[in-house]
């Protein structure tokens, strides 16, 4: 098991950022690696999504996985239920700071035996993935804010 801990400052107010963050089906608009996200269950036990991820390195890999997303107080929990990263748990905390939000990401990465040799690459990819998604969310928050002010 490997952990990934980092923080990022997003220029968006916390309530709007949290609203954007939980719009899972919109994620395919953030990065080309996210082919699709579909909500397959939404109840008191959480939101279950099916994600199709495409990675192009030397070979094109398509990963299909399901994840469950829950919120407890101020922490958003996601767990990958199947796929090469089955058992990976991601905790994300949003802390308001005036018109910005500090996003704290803590992930416990679990990979299949076959994928474990790629830990350093996967860890770096996860960090870039989160940074990319949150920067796109920042842009989306600005667009929403501008539309509200029209």
Written as one string, the DSSP assignment of 76-141 is EEEEE-SSTTTT-EEEEEEEEETTEEEEEEEEEE---GGGGGGHHHHHHHHHHHHHHHHHHHHHHH
Under DSSP, the state recorded for 4 is E
Class of domain 2-149: alpha beta
pLDDT in tens, 7-60: 999 999 999 999 999 999 999 999 888 999 999 999 999 999 999 988 766 556
Q: Which residue has 């990934």 as its token pair?
A: 4
Domain ranges (residues) in the chain:
2-149
Record the tokens describing residue 96, joined without a space. Answer: 């308001």
What is residue 47's predicted lDDT score, i.e. its pLDDT? 97
The burial class, CB within 10 Å (0-12 / 13-18 / 19+), for 50 is middle
pLDDT reading at 88 higher than 90: yes
Greater confidence (131 vs 115) lies with 131
What is residue 55's predicted lDDT score, i.e. its pLDDT? 74
Mention every residue, 6+ apart, whose C-beta is less than 8 A from residue 35.
Answer: 28, 52, 53, 54, 62
Q: How far apart are CA 55 and CA 129, in angstroms?
A: 11
Q: How far apart are CA 28 and CA 56, in angstroms?
A: 16
């Amino acid at each position: 098991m490997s952990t990934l801990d980092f923080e990022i400052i997003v220029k968006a107010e916390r309530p709007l950022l949290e609203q954007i963050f939980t719009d899972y089906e919109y994620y395919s608009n953030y990065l080309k690696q996210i082919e699709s996200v579909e909500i397959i269950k939404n109840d008191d036990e959480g939101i279950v999504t099916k994600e199709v991820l495409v990675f192009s390195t030397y070979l094109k890999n398509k990963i299909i996985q399901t994840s469950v997303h829950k919120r407890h107080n101020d922490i958003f929990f996601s767990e990958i239920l199947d796929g090469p990263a089955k058992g990976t748990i991601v905790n994300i905390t949003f802390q308001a700071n005036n018109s910005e939000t500090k996003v704290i990401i803590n992930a416990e990465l679990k990979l299949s035996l076959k994928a474990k040799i790629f830990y350093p690459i996967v860890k770096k990819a996860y960090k870039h993935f989160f940074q990319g998604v949150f920067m796109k969310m920042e842009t989306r928050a600005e667009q929403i804010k501008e539309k509200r002010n029209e």
